[in-house]
Amino acid sequence: MTKVAMDCKKLMVKEIAGRLNDAGMLIVTNYKGLTSQALNELRRELRNNSSEYLVIKDSMAKRALAEGPNKTIAEFVEGEVGIAIDKKEDAVYITKILTKFAKGNEFLKIRGGIMGGALISKEDIAVLAALPSREVLLGKLANVLNAPIQGLASVLHGILSKIVYALSAVKDKKTEARPEEKPQDAVAESKPEQNQPEKPEEKKEEKGEQA
């Protein structure tokens, strides 16, 4: 092999290594027997969902994975390999696409994968494919988080209403219990005349009559 060919191969391995080791999730498949048309259809569907399907020789794939964080997935790499690379950060989407495609195309075999640095089996991938999509899960989570908030708001509203009602009732009772204040003139007029002191002039007149 010439030096130029070797350099080209090294560059290819380096470029593939970057794509494989930067991904949060990879799924390894075998595609032997799959037609070019079916293979292009799978690639197109994954690409439309922000993913990628990389067809690569097993030797080159193992070399690219050798020193990276996803190197443990190399145990699934064997034969004619197609590796699905998740770029959407939605594990459910990519597993749904591959599982559905494999059901309609017997030549596509899902071998296993890696997600967040942990190996996942083909059985794990089937379980992930059966889950709702990320958008659906986020919607359900939002509903769960929102429900207690609405309940708390209703409870607080009821408590505040009771407090306002109680304060209003206390105020009404105090108003009823307080006596009405009478004007000072009215109080003076209400006193009996016998309690008023006799005027000096009236006493003199009475003495003159007695004389």
Q: Is the dihedral of CA 103, 56, 120, 128 positive or negative?
A: negative
For residue 92, the model assigns a pLDDT of 86
Q: Residue 94: which of 65, 72, 115, 118 has the closest Cα?
A: 115
For residue 34, the model assigns a pLDDT of 93
For residue 123, the model assigns a pLDDT of 94
Q: What is the mean pLDDT of each run of 10 residues along the chain (211 residues)?
A: 79 90 92 94 92 92 89 92 87 91 94 93 93 71 65 62 62 61 50 51 48 44
Token digits for 110? 């899902």
For residue 178, the model assigns a pLDDT of 59
For residue 85, the model assigns a pLDDT of 94
Whole-prediction pTM: 0.63
Residue 179 CA to residue 128 CA, distance in Å, equals 78
For residue 61, the model assigns a pLDDT of 92
Residue 157 CA to residue 159 CA, distance in Å, equals 5
Residue 197 CA to residue 182 CA, distance in Å, equals 24
For residue 156, the model assigns a pLDDT of 61
Residue spans of the domains in the chain: they are: 3-131, 133-177
For residue 177, the model assigns a pLDDT of 60
- Classify domain 3-131 by CATH number: 3.30.70.1730
